[in-house]
Copies of this chain bind each other. A is one copy, B any other.
Amino acid sequence: MADQLTAAGKALAVLGTFTRDRPSQSLSQIANRTGLALSTTHRVVTELAQWGALERTDEGDWHIGLRLWEVGSVCPRGQILRDVALPYMQDLYEVTHENIQLAVREGTEMVFVERIAGHRSVELRTMVGARHPLLGTAMGMVLLAYAPNEIREAVLAGPMDRHTPHTVTDPKTLRAMLAQTRRATCAVNDRQFQDHTVGVAAPVRLGEHGDVEAALGIVVAGQTGAAVRQLRHPVLAAARAISNVLGQRAGTR
């Protein structure tokens, strides 16, 4: 994280050092990670805190402030999307009691925006706010299938992680699966990411032009075949319902 030397850039660099794994850190840790001088860091941090972007713990460490969360929650592809989708994810969860997830594509990755995980569902590795590659999951498959060409090519040309023996890494097969995803308006991931778990995902359209930028997915344990195929309809219906609400909103804005 080199110094671009612009004042606002330093502030953003400071904010960027906070992650889910490192939600709070001391002044010198921030200084180290940003490469800024300690005194500079101090000034920037103090100013951010004054505005409410950062807060201080009793121990003197710093963490992201509620004010910044509030502003971040105005993100159309973040909290606002989440707010619209949650009731439908809710319904879906109640029927299935499995993990329900919502993600948006950001470049060649996806960011998890919402997740409903009751106590009875499979334990998942992903977290809200986390980034994840597109390959290897049903949600990623959906996002990739409807992504612009350059994104698709970049991903298919890039490195591919093999998570399980079932992970598909052959570009030709992947292309066929993407075509199939577009045809069926939904993707199924059979143990490609984790052994014993199967995912089903469907596209959510947002924006004025109805572009697909989000995906709704469900993850279930151990089942294959007919049981999974039955999940397609509720998932598709929920995704379509969310898209409809978003479309209406865009119109009335």
Contacts and interface: CB of A to CB of B under 8 A. Distances in A.
B93 A8 contact: no
Given A8-B48, A118-B91, A74 B70 contact: no
A113 to B, nearest CB: 8
A8 B47 contact: yes
A65 B12 CA distance: 13
A118 B78 contact: no
A118 B87 contact: yes
A119 B85 CA distance: 12
A80 interface: yes
Interface stretch (A15-23, A134-142, A153-161, A223-231): A15-23
A71 B68 contact: yes
A238 to B, nearest CB: 12
A247 interface: no
A36 interface: no
A191 B12 CA distance: 45
A9 B116 contact: no
Contact of A116 (B66, B71, B79, B90): B90
B76 A64 contact: yes
A73 B128 contact: yes
Contacts of A170: none
A37 to B, nearest CB: 15
B64 A74 contact: yes
A150 interface: no
30 contacts: A7-B8, A8-B8, A8-B44, A8-B47, A9-B47, A9-B51, A11-B12, A16-B51, A20-B80, A23-B80, A63-B74, A63-B76, A64-B76, A66-B77, A66-B104, A68-B72, A68-B75, A69-B75, A69-B78, A70-B78, A70-B131, A71-B72, A72-B72, A73-B128, A73-B129, A79-B129, A86-B117, A87-B118, A90-B93, A91-B119
